[in-house]
Amino acid sequence: MLKQPRKSAIPSIPALITFFLLSSCNPFSQTGDLKTFRVNLGTEPPSLDWSLATDHASFNVIANLMVGLTEFDKNLKPAAVIAKSWDILDGGRRIVFHLRDDVLWSDGKKVQAQDFEYSWKRLLNPKTASEYAYILFDILNAEEYNQGKIDSPELVGVKASDDRTLEVHLKHPASYFLSITTFEVTYPQRQDLIERYGSKWTEPGNIVTNGPFLLSSWKHENEIQLTANPDFFLGKPAIDKVEMFMINEKTTAVAMYEQGRLDFIDNQSIPIFEKPRMAKLPGFKAVPQLRGYYYGFVTDRRPFDDVRVRKAFSMAIDRSIFPKILHGGERPATSWIPPTMLAQNPKIGLNYNPPEARRLLREAGYPDGKDFPQVTLAYNTLEDHKTVAEAVQGMWKRNLGVLVRLENQEWKVYLKKLKTDPPHIYRSGWGADYPDPDNFMKLFTSLSGNNDTRWKNPRYDQLLESAAREFDEKRRIRLYNEAQRILCETDVPIMPLFTTTEHTVLNPRFTGLEFNSMARLFLREVRPASR
């Protein structure tokens, strides 16, 4: 018998509110001046300390307060910011960054290579207990320092050889390492201030930054205000002030936008039912995200220890249904590396093919699903996940004759269960930390803590290692193609379903806002639209 998924109270609130608000669109009232830009963060940023931050709200504030060695260009390649150039030496084991000398901290001091050395070592210091410490584990002795195996930070392979030169020694060549330097957790920090103010160094009045905006006020759970940095080395932003609100409820945020009290909204602020209506507004944009949604098989549990069964299940899913039922501009995917990332290849993967799926299932000993054991598909409690699970359940019943049991759990209980008592099939997703295929593909290596499929393939591991050490793009793409074929065609421990899209609406009175494929909001170039 099917277990009815429990309905959570929270997802139903937006649905009900939307019901009331749907037909009630007021003409756009335009309050607010053109020097102030107002966005919704959706929630209180848990931390503005970029060694401790782990979430979008925090990073979206930090990304407007700070700049680092590099940033993404339009093609998601690392482009120079504080680093004016770099040399890759010793076959990729040593990277030397040459820094600009005109980047200033907001208290007038120059940004120096020592500020990077301090920040990176602070991220790795076990006492900092940073969740993202592992992002720098490719650096010589970094992991050992974080594990407490070596005490001296001097032995970690990052060193400011002078004020303008930062030298990084890696354990092994890593072609993706430059991409990591776009990530906020690698931004420089001021040792003097952190030591003076302790955990309060990120409060307004204490914090010193180097980016386009300055933190002028932070009313917790309520509002953050930024002001333009007149000394920003790329020039003062066109808007004087940014107000970042913390409105959790999406329908309230939409109402605020329609009343002219917000200038920009994204998925954080748009309820699913409002998406079709928002898509008609001027200033609407759909931004494909580097975020994949997949189902994983626990490959040591019968009957999914048989690759034919896994293939049959993947081939019995018509992925074109997802954008129709989720209304979020989802892009169906049969391969794992998301669109716009290097080595993305939509030709890889198992396409919808019910006759072939039935043949494979028959070959595995379950003609028309006969004698198929009771299996469970689990997901964490959320309306969207339920919608997807029910659609997939229906397709398996129709195409394979197999009725899969659905089971949902509260998020933390679900995560615990994946480790201790995994279901046959589980839902999961992944968003890029940095826009390199390594970040996506590494999930399913034998030793990855994120690999809940219990699938291991030494060839796959080896291909990823070779790709990481390879600097030639064409050769890297070939290596990832082969790895993706193993993952999505021959071994099939996972079935990628789709990649996500962010819907954004910008008040047409403004232009220049950049919202990238990692849901990062850059306000540096925002300016009034010319009439």
Partner 1 sequence: MVRFLLTRLLHGLAVVWVVITLTFVFMRLAPGGPFDRERRLPPEVLANIAAKYHLDEPWLRQYGRYLLGIARGDLGPSYKYVDRGVSDIVAETFPVSALLGVLALGFAVAFSFPLAISAAYYRNSWIDRSCLFLATLGISLPHFILGALLIWLFSLQLGWLQPGRWEDLTSTVLPTITLGAAPAAYLSYLLRSSLVESLEEDYVRTARAKGLREATVLFKHALNNSLIPTLTVLGPLSAALITGSFVVEYIFAIPGMGRFFITAVTDRDYPMIMGVTLVYTGLLVSANFFVDLLYSIVDPRIKSH
Q: Which residues bind partner 1 (CB under 8 A)?
A: 13, 16-17, 19-21, 24-26, 29, 44, 46-49, 52, 54, 126-131, 133-134, 137, 143, 146-147, 199-200, 202, 219-223, 245-249, 251-253, 255-256, 258-259, 261, 410-417, 428-430, 449-450
Q: Which residue has the tokens 């399913």?
A: 444
Q: Which is nearer to partner 1, 200 or 236 (CB)?
A: 200
Q: Which is nearer to partner 1, 198 or 282 (CB)?
A: 198
CB of 42 to partner 1, least distance (A): 10
CB of 119 to partner 1, least distance (A): 16
Q: Which is nearer to partner 1, 7 or 398 (CB)?
A: 7
| Local structure of residue 170 (DSSP, 8 states) | B
**Alpha-carbon dihedral angle through residues 281, 261, 14, 392, given to the nearest 10 degrees:** 40
CB of 294 to partner 1, least distance (A): 12
Q: Which is nearer to partner 1, 206 or 457 (CB)?
A: 206
Q: Which is nearer to partner 1, 161 or 222 (CB)?
A: 222
CB 201 within 8 A of CB 99: no
CB of 281 to partner 1, least distance (A): 15
In degrees, rounded to 5, the angle at the alpha carbon of residue 138 between the alpha carbons of residues 137 and 142 is 45
Measured distance CA(157)–CA(165) in Å, rounded: 14
CB of 305 to partner 1, least distance (A): 23
Alpha helix stretches (DSSP H) within 22-111: 56-65
**Burial class of 362 by CB neighbour count within 10 A (0 to 12, 13 to 18, 19+):** middle
CB of 371 to partner 1, least distance (A): 33
Angle separating helix axes 307-315 and 383-400, nearest 10 degrees: 110
Measured distance CA(393)–CA(94) in Å, rounded: 50
Q: Which residue has the tokens 């605020």?
A: 256
CB of 328 to partner 1, least distance (A): 18
Residue 302: count of CB within 10 angstroms of its CB: 10
CB of 528 to partner 1, least distance (A): 24
Which of 388, 382, 400 lies closest to 324 in space, CA to CA?
388
Q: Which residue has the tokens 């007021």?
A: 26
Q: Which is nearer to partner 1, 121 or 476 (CB)?
A: 121
DSSP per-residue letters across 253-291:
HHHHHHTTS-SEE-GGG--GGGHHHHTTSTTEEEEEEEE
Q: Which is nearer to partner 1, 203 or 482 (CB)?
A: 203
| Local structure of residue 210 (DSSP, 8 states) | -
Q: Which two tokens stand for residue 170?
A: 């890696």
Q: Which is nearer to partner 1, 267 or 399 (CB)?
A: 267
CB of 432 to partner 1, least distance (A): 11
Q: Which is nearer to partner 1, 233 or 430 (CB)?
A: 430
Q: How far is CA 339 from the centre of its chain?
A: 14
